[in-house]
Amino acid sequence: MAAAVVVHGPDSEGGRRVVARGRILGTAYNVFDVLSFLEEVGLNPATVRLDDADLIDWRGGGAWEWAPGSGT
């Protein structure tokens, strides 16, 4: 089963596109942005585990990788 949320690798400015079930939620520049996007789609950020691979597919680096261009 594919993860419900995909966080793509950092772009040249360090932003990571966040997609939930095929819907682009926006560009995150840190973990707090990702948690805000998850809240927008009905998830409770207080209970989300960032290492839950069934929920989040971190591409081009994990939750703590935000260096510009490092995920491309």
pLDDT tens-digit profile, the chain (72 residues): 578 999 999 999 999 999 998 999 999 999 999 999 999 999 999 999 999 999 999 999 899 999 887 765
The whole-number pLDDT of residue 69 equals 74
Strands annotated E in 1-72: 5-7, 16-20, 23-28, 56-58
CA 59 – CA 31 distance, rounded (Å): 14
The whole-number pLDDT of residue 3 equals 80
Strand, coil or helix: what is 37? helix
- Taking alpha carbons only, the member of 55, 59, 65, 54 closest to residue 17 is 59
Residues β-bridged to residue 24: 19
Whether the model pTM is above 0.85: yes
CA 11 – CA 4 distance, rounded (Å): 21
The whole-number pLDDT of residue 31 equals 96
The whole-number pLDDT of residue 54 equals 93
